[in-house]
Amino acid sequence: MSRALRIVLPAILLLVFCRYTLADSPEAVKPKSGKQYFAHQAVEDRYGVIAPWYGGLNGQCDFRVRVAAETLKRYPWIDRPAAITPGPCYVFDGHWQISPEGGITTNTGLNDWDNGDLGQRSAYVLTSLANYYRYAGDPAALGPMTINADYLLDYCQTPATHDWPGFLISCPTRGKAYGRADPKGFIQLDYACQVGLALADVYRLTGEKRYLDAVNRWADLLARHCDHAPGAAPWGRYANPEDARRLCPDWKDQRMTGGVVLVLLFLDEVIRLGHRGADDAVVKARDAGERYLRDALLPRWMDDSTWGRHFWDWENPVCTVILPCFAAQYFMDRPDRFPNWRRDCRNIISLFIARATVDANSSGGPYSGAWALPESSACCGLSLQYPTQALAAFLLRYGQKADSPWADELGRRMILLSTYDVHENGVVEDLIHGGAFVSKSWFNLAHPWPLKYTLDCMAWRPDLFGAGRENHVMRSSSVVTSVVYGKGRIEYETFADPGPSVDVLRLAFVPRSVTADGAALSAGAAPDRNGYTIRPLENGDSIVTIRHDGRTRIVVEGDDPQQMAGDDDLHYTGGWDVVEDAAAYDGKLHAAAAPHSEATFAFEGNQVRLIGRADPNGGKADVYLDGIKQPAGLDCWCPMTRDRQVLYYKNGLPQGKHTLKVVVLGRRNPVAKGDSVYLDGLQWSAATGAAGFGSGGGPAGPQRIIFGYMKRSDYVDSQKHIWRPATEVVMRLAWQADLVPIALWTEPRAGEIAGTEDPELYRYGIHGNDFVVHFTVSPSATYHVRIKFAEARTDDRPGQFATSIAIQGEDVVKDMDVAATAGGYDRAVDLVFNDVQPRNGLITIRFYNPHGQSAIAQAVEIGPGRATGGAKPVVFQRPLKEPAEKK
């Protein structure tokens, strides 16, 4: 077979399989639309809403996870003396290049500044690998995780003479990559705490006490430097503000604002692990930070800079994607301390949509009904993939916590759209209509970041995004320290954290028994008691929720459609030995270190897993599937011995006969002590059955918004209807513009509003030349639209507020004189439009003024069915100012 055919054939098979799988899905999809989103041609469901481009049984999210993990596994390593310690290059260097064929290269000649993403990159590498191990049982996650953690502790902490001794140099903008971090670079506190959160999980997974000692020491330093003065920010942005000023003298503002949520998440985690500091100093620092968040920042939730000053490489005075999301996580996970969490989370997350879309160069907005967004009003053009993935994860989390169909549907559509970004060979296209920009050079945003947030989305909606007809621990309230995915027997252990212990699994079978520490758990138990519940899915899978407070070792058993062959069933050539191993499936396994030793197995199905051991003596092997060398082979090295692990897997295969071959290389990575490859068996499955991807979902009930209303409490009108701040608005202003002060009337504009029992609905508003509000709705209903107006100004400049309106792209009002329609100034008037059909799962209302001035609106209500009332618009009678001719 020619090299070209070997490259093209898998893609042809995948496309054929996708075509027939999608065509047979109960959620029928439209043909290719001709539009390209990121790396693939757009596919829409029968409602015109985004649908998966990928048709494998495992689903598009699992495909994205596998490709990200394989890219990490095949990433180039570096050894001494080129690096201060051996490891994968992404541990030391955030830059990469990937060829169209998938070949990865790195650059060891980076300047000092480019090393500044160390903390951000490490946080995502550590967190994503810990979560990936739980999900896949792949021991290849464990070794690089410890290498990264050890590099941070051995070479990236401040010296004993520093004012913050032994603290992480989180953004070393001085000090070369691959070497020792320079403490004169940025020591940005929120990034240090984000790394601390991840390092706490590495401690839980490995039990290595030095990781725990480090996070405790960092917490003590934060407590020592905490400013407890009422109303003051407890910490600045940097532990070394003088060095930061020298590096960037033009950066005037070194306050910490929304980044405090990462400090609080970290301190809470340290307290959860049992460390409170001398005289409860860590607890007191956490409490000071929480007061600052609650009393100083939350009242200013609508200010642009409140959720800014996070990304390390610029002053970042504007709201960026991460801090609103982590703030929402902090609130929703602590409802006793933030009783207004439902409204605060919704407001803060959704206001980001309006803020991030002001730059016309970004084209942020809905695509086939799914929002795609840049990271802020100031970055990064048409690169709309990675911010969308992050926001989707937090929306899905909020959707489940708050029982919000609105958030759940936004998140569902966004993760489907944003996982259009990747090719099988690891090439990522982050520009909305194709091509690479950020992902072209920043590895973290190409794979570790998507790995984390795609797994998070799967964790919160395992029924929609979990791999079909497979077995996975999707979510755990603690860290899964070991997991074995056997045939009909899932064994895993969690770290013994205090508080409720709840895990969620998606299985290819319905369990017949679940035990915790050897004791049987009861099926159908109440949510607040130990036991488990089963939610069957139509395709034969089940969602299993297990509560096991005070117990850590879980075994789930049932009739699994998966098949398994032992190590004796594989066909071997070359230097293989049988090794006794009590922890192996049959008490033994096959091992080889000699180059060109081979093992093969033929199976029939749509997925396969190679099972084996990883240990300090593990070496490398290539893997061939149906004669095609796979991008990521085997590396059986792991700093701790793990048996019955998933060394390699491939799913989403065309149903049929396949052959897997392993070829031992006789090589090792730079830290391994041997070249051995250990095989313990093979699992495969021919089970079929699509579970769907959630088509047709979304909120079908009324939605009511007030433009410019920025209170943290919703408004309840005289009919007991709830109105919220309007946030899903697109108004193109300028790069780094702030929508709130420019376009919103956030203070009441009139003391009295006549003609209404609810004057509050008419006192605020929005004004601009052209703006659009999008409502995410269930696509199968018919709706009415009610728009509320009140003109409070007496400025008689012709056409000042001549308002035209288009609904679903069709003009319904032209040049309305609001005051004349209402019968005067400071008077309420409503317009009503019925029989509105969703398009792409949205109801879209555009307000514009074609005469170079501003359109206005005060509030909007949409709801199912028809509505009564509504005035007849009065058109401006005076001559209107026409826009100036373009020169």
- HEC states along 547-571? ECCCCCEEEEEECCCCEEEEHHHCE
Directed axis angle between helix 448-460 and helix 60-73, to 10°? 150
Task: Give the pLDDT band of residue 33 (cuts 50, 70, 90).
Answer: confident
Q: For residues 402 and 343, what is the distance between their CA atoms, to the nearest angstrom?
A: 10
| pLDDT tens track for 505-528 | 999 999 999 999 999 999 998 989
Q: For residues 787 and 422, what is the distance between their CA atoms, to the nearest angstrom?
A: 41
User: Is it the case that residue 3 has pLDDT exceeding 50?
Assistant: no
| pLDDT tens track for 670-718 | 999 999 999 999 999 999 998 899 999 999 999 999 999 999 999 999 9
Q: For residues 782 and 605, what is the distance between their CA atoms, to the nearest angstrom?
A: 44
Q: For residues 491 and 439, what is the distance between their CA atoms, to the nearest angstrom?
A: 37
Residue range 361-389: average pLDDT? 96
Contact 152, 167 (CB under 8 A): no
Q: For residues 392 and 403, what is the distance between their CA atoms, to the nearest angstrom?
A: 15
Contact 427, 100 (CB under 8 A): yes
Q: For residues 155 and 115, what is the distance between their CA atoms, to the nearest angstrom?
A: 13
Which pLDDT value is given to residue 110?
78
CA angle 314, 319, 323 (to 5 degrees): 95
| 80 CB burial (10 A radius; 0-12, 13-18, 19+) | exposed
What is the pLDDT of the chain when averaged over all its residues?
A: 94
Which pLDDT value is given to residue 798?
53
What's the start-to-end Cα distance of the chain, in Å? 61
Which pLDDT value is given to residue 18?
38
User: Is it the case that residue 11 has pLDDT exceeding 50?
Assistant: no
CA dihedral sign of residues 425, 431, 435, 441: negative
Q: For residues 222 and 24, what is the distance between their CA atoms, to the nearest angstrom?
A: 56
Contact 453, 393 (CB under 8 A): yes
Q: For residues 760 and 683, what is the distance between their CA atoms, to the nearest angstrom?
A: 63
Residue 691 CA, distance from chain mean position: 22
Which pLDDT value is given to residue 884?
47
Task: Please state whether the peptide bond connecting residue 345 to the residue before it is cis, i.e. omega within 30 degrees of 0.
Answer: no
User: Is it the case that residue 14 has pLDDT exceeding 50?
Assistant: no
- Out of 121-130, 189-198, 306-315, 797-806, which region has the weakest mean confidence (pLDDT)? 797-806
| pLDDT tens track for 424-445 | 999 999 999 999 999 999 999 9
Contact 284, 222 (CB under 8 A): no
Contact 326, 265 (CB under 8 A): yes
Sorted by sequence, the CB contacts under 8 Å of residue 764 that are 6+ apart come out as: 706, 707, 708, 709, 744, 745, 746, 747, 748, 749, 858
Residue range 375-392: average pLDDT? 96
Residue 660 is encoded by which pair of tokens?
A: 């897997």
User: Is it the case that residue 173 has pLDDT exceeding 80?
Assistant: yes
Residue 403 CA, distance from chain mean position: 19
Which pLDDT value is given to residue 838?
98
Which pLDDT value is given to residue 540?
96
Residue 841 is encoded by which pair of tokens?
A: 């799962």
- Out of 158-172, 641-655, 783-797, which region has the weakest mean confidence (pLDDT)? 783-797
Residue range 547-557: average pLDDT? 98
pTM comes to 0.95
Which pLDDT value is given to residue 24?
36
Residue range 352-381: average pLDDT? 96
Q: For residues 438 and 381, what is the distance between their CA atoms, to the nearest angstrom?
A: 10
